[in-house]
């Protein structure tokens, strides 16, 4: 049995917490839609909702890309902001627990979406059963106990899980 992304969504809600923090930059100002110059810090973390249907939900995240908004189209509008290359048990990330995927410095401006590029090879760490990961992305059922099913994420390794939401990174002025 292969679980698809709809099943993945049903079994575990993945949240990518993205926090833009303004950082110093010289003067400037203007409206938030016309910010030029300066940088901001993007902090990416992963968290999950709990479930009692599964003992573990493993997802390997190869990298995270963001798309700079505006009229740009093409690959030059995408920037890789994190390359964790790690297999995560999402059920260890519940009740407010966060796992940092990366912190990146970005130009101030509008970002329209993120992509979680799913890995095809696990990180080599053992799973909760003390065994090597049989797949890069899979679940371990609670009932029947220890039964493993591979997760299938369509285009997950090419274009990733798409998170479409506008985020704005703005520079802030430091107060003296």
Average pLDDT over residues 94-106: 90
Q: What is the pLDDT averaged over residues 150-161?
A: 80
Q: Which pLDDT belongs to residue 27?
A: 36
Higher pLDDT, 91 or 9: 91
Confidence of residue 108 (pLDDT cuts 50, 70, 90): confident
* pLDDT score of 15 more than 60: no
Instruction: Tell which wins on pLDDT, 89 or 72.
Output: 89
Whether pTM exceeds 0.85: no
The answer to whether 168 and 32 are in contact (CB under 8 A) is: yes
Contact between residue 163 and residue 68 where contact means Cβ atoms under 8 Å apart: no
User: pLDDT by residue (tens digit) across 40-63?
Assistant: 888 888 888 888 889 999 999 999
* SS3 per residue for the chain: CEECHHHHHHHCCEEEEEEEEECCCCCCCCCHHHCCCCEEEEEEEEEECCCCCEEEEEEEEEEEEEEECCCCCCHHHEEEEECCCEEEEHHHCCCCCCEEEEEEEEECEEEEEEEEEECCCCCCCCCCCCCCCCCCCEEEECCCCCCEEEECCCCCCCCCEEEEEEEEECCCCCCC
């Amino acid at each position: 049995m292969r679980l698809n992304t709809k099943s993945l969504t049903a079994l575990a809600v993945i949240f990518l917490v993205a926090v833009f923090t303004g950082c110093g930059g010289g003067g400037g100002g203007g409206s938030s839609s016309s910010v030029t110059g300066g940088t901001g810090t993007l902090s990416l973390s992963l968290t999950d909702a709990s479930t009692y249907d599964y003992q573990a939900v493993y997802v390997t995240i190869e990298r995270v890309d963001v798309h700079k908004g505006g009229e740009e189209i093409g690959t030059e509008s995408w920037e890789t902001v994190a390359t964790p290359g790690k297999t995560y048990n999402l059920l260890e990330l519940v009740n407010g627990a966060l796992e940092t995927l990366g912190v990146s410095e970005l130009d101030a401006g509008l970002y329209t979406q993120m992509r979680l590029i799913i890995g095809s090879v696990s990180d080599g760490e053992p799973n909760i059963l003390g065994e090597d990961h049989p797949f890069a992305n899979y679940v371990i059922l609670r009932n029947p106990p220890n039964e493993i099913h591979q997760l299938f994420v369509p285009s997950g390794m090419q274009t990733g899980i798409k998170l479409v939401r506008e985020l704005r990174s703005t520079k802030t002025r430091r107060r003296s």
